[in-house]
Structure 1
Amino acid sequence: MKRVLITGAAGFLGSHLCDRFLREGYHVIGMDNLITGNLDNIEHLFSEKNFEFYNHDVTKFVHVSGELDYILHFASPASPIDYLKIPIQTLKVGAMGTHNLLGLAKAKNARILVASTSEVYGDPQVHPQTEDYWGHVNPVGPRGVYDEAKRYLEAITMAYHTYHGLETRIVRIFNTYGPRMRLNDGRVLPAFVGQALRGEDLTVFGDGSQTRSFCYVDDLVEGIYRLLMSDYAKPVNVGNPSEISIADFAEEIIKLTGTTNKVIYKDLPKDDPMQRQPDITKAREILGWEPKVDRSEGLKRTYDYFKSLPEEKLYKKEHNTFEEYIKR
Structure 2
Amino acid sequence: MRILITGAASFLGRHLVEHFLKKGDTVLALARENAAGKEAIEKYKKNDNFRLIVLDMKEIENLECEFDICIHLAWGGIGKEGRMDKDIQRENIEASINLMKVCKKRKAKRFLFAGSQAEYGQTLADIVTKYGKDFDINKIPQQDEKSPVNPKSEYGKAKLELKSRLKELGNSLDIEYVHMRIFSVFGRGDHETSLISACIKNFKENKDVHIGECIQSWNYIYIKDLCEAVYLLSKEDLHNEFVFNVAGETNRILMDYVKDMKRILKSDSKIVVGKREVASEGLPFLNPGIEPLKKLGFIENYGFDKGITDYSDKM
Q: TM-score by structure 1 length?
A: 0.80
Alpha-carbon deviations, 1:152-180, whole Å to 9, x = none? 22122111123333222121111111112
Say if 1:46 and 1:294 are closer, same or farther in 2 by CA, change over 3 A. same
3-state SS of 2:57 partner: coil
Say if 1:244 and 1:61 are closer, same or farther in 2 by CA, change over 3 A. same
Once the two structures are TM-superposed, the CA of residue 130 in structure 1 deviates from its matched residue by: 0.5
3-state SS of 1:282 partner: helix
Counterpart for residue 130 of structure 1? 144
| Distance in 2 between residues matched to 1:271 and 1:182, nearest whole Å | 21
Give the conservation status (yes or no) of the 8 Å contact 1:74–1:114: yes
Counterpart for residue 119 of structure 2? 120
The residue correspondences of 1:174-193 to structure 2 (distance < 5 A) are 174-184=183-193, 187-193=194-200
Once the two structures are TM-superposed, the CA of residue 20 in structure 1 deviates from its matched residue by: 1.9
Letter in 2 for 1:6: I
The residue correspondences of 1:264-303 to structure 2 (distance < 5 A) are 264-267=273-276, 268-285=278-295, 287-303=296-312
3-state SS of 1:60 partner: helix
Letter in 1 for 2:199: F
| Distance in 1 between residues matched to 2:203 and 2:167, nearest whole Å | 43
Equivalent in 247, 261, 275 of residue 239 of structure 1: 247
Counterpart for residue 10 of structure 1? 9
Counterpart for residue 97 of structure 1? 95
Equivalent in 292, 295, 313 of residue 304 of structure 1: 313
Give the conservation status (yes or no) of the 8 Å contact 2:120–2:150: yes
| Distance in 1 between residues matched to 2:80 and 2:202, nearest whole Å | 16
1:225 aligns with 2:225: no
Give the conservation status (yes or no) of the 8 Å contact 1:31–1:56: yes
| Distance in 2 between residues matched to 1:104 and 1:298, nearest whole Å | 37
| Distance in 2 between residues matched to 1:193 and 1:160, nearest whole Å | 43
Listed as ranges, the gaps of 5+ residues in structure 2 are 128-139
Counterpart for residue 219 of structure 2? 213
| Distance in 1 between residues matched to 2:215 and 2:33, nearest whole Å | 35
Give the conservation status (yes or no) of the 8 Å contact 1:158–1:168: yes
Letter in 1 for 2:294: R
Runs of 4+ with >6 A deviation: none
Listed as ranges, the gaps of 5+ residues in structure 1 are 139-143, 307-328
1:145 aligns with 2:145: no
Counterpart for residue 167 of structure 1? 176
Once the two structures are TM-superposed, the CA of residue 98 in structure 1 deviates from its matched residue by: 0.8
Using the aligned pairs only, state the percent identity: 22
Q: TM-score by structure 2 length?
A: 0.83
